[in-house]
Structure 1
Amino acid sequence: MTTVLVVDDHGVVRRGLTGLLDHAEDLEVVAVAADGAAAVELARRHRPDVVLMDLQMPGMDGVEATRIIRDEDLAGDVLVLTSYSDRRRILAALDAGAVGYLLKDTEPDDLVAGVRAVARGESPLDPKAARQLLLSRGDRQEPTLSPREVEVLRLVVQGLANKQIAHRLGIRERTVKQHLTNVFARIGVSDRTQAALWAQRHGW
């Protein structure tokens, strides 16, 4: 059973997400929060596997809450669910430690699949968000990846899973997921298959 903390400042959205996720046999919503500060406190109390995090909230926003949750290792991973697909917000969330980024117009089945993907160690990125990042770079600008991100990407091309990559590089599996999320955002793709194809096309 994957435990989930739902964070959103709109009551209707919280209730809708809770009902959707609890309907899945392998997912359980253990708490809901209306702002970032409450999300941090509930994460400390419940240690959920996945935090489904809104970004725009009163008081402490989702980016700051994500940063605290990741810094204090209060949850398995953070998956952003927001209405915003602009480059600034996407990169801010990913830099804070989120491993996935979905938009609120995502189909319900795709949202459930995204939560499951995060629980499996994957990094879902909404295609619209990925396209926004790609277009905002400009057609001729090559993405800048760190040496470690390049290493991770090359091992993805070789077909290694996150756990294998972590073992090969001597880093934590969670760190691999974060690197992959950043790579997806910077090259404008939404999953590891697309990332591998992109790397092959660009000679990486």
Structure 2
Amino acid sequence: MELSNKELQQITRLQEALLNIRLDRGRIGDLLAEVAALVQAKAAMGAWLDGGVPIIVTHRAGPQIETYFARVFDGVDVEGNLRATDPDLDRINLSRRRLGSGVYHENVLAERESVTRAAYFQEAFAPAGMHHVIGMTTRLAVGEALFAFGFEGDDDPGFVSGRTETLLRLLLPAFSFGFGAIDRAHRHQQRLDKAIAEARVPATLNRPGINGHHLHRDRAGTPLIRLPLPELSGEEGGQLQVSLDALHLEDLAAALAKRFALSPRQRETAELMLRGLTSREIAHQLGIRMNTARRHCEAVLQKAGVARRDQLAILSLSELVDG
């Protein structure tokens, strides 16, 4: 199959756009429309996951597909497959994902007679103008990303000539890379959110020039360290960073209190010990007798299982960071 210079330029532009795709309905809809024009499809649909929720966009197709998919969506199984209450649609979805990333003519997935009898065809695809379908798909950790193109009749050139499959195979590597990058970034984000939520060290997510999103209580001061997150940084707003705040003695004392069941007074004593105060200074700070302060200090060391105050400081840091 020969391609004109105009078609080659269009394919190059689409490849670049797919390599840098973002989960934006409008932008993906525009790309879907361009690819549909390239393969001379009468209608098209795109589907992907956004936060575990299936999203569908259409081009020159009626609303029936999106409505039908929303009605029959039945969650995700343990293998990451999207399930449907429509058994025929469920079987095709499972088959397509098991085949993996590729360009698939509908006759690879089901016989025509079984397609036209199926509820998804009669209630969604046929009314939406997608009587015959060829699509490209890429398998993701959960579900898949799909661009499917609809053609009218059995003799529609886009459906029977082989041209559509050839053009889609040229776009498939960029399509797979773009949606795969989004999928990886989403999984990185999930792991990061979990790590920050469970962190014992206060952390902040921010972009340069944009107020940070503090997931632990905010404290003034310069962060201990800033780490760039290139996998999660989009093209808008600069590079995402995670900032780790400097450790605070009240957090260290709280970690000791939780681990060794210190009383409220012993926790106060532990924090003052970590600040380097002597027993006399602790007594003055707490407004108690020096002998009482000394007994609190001894109780803290005994419960923590250490003999010296410097060992208490090392232990508290270990408790906070290592959990």
Q: TM-score, normalised by structure 1?
A: 0.29
> Greater strand percent: which structure?
2
Over alpha carbons, which structure has the higher Rg?
Answer: 2
Q: TM-score, normalised by structure 2?
A: 0.19
Greater RCO, CA 8 A, separation 6+: 1
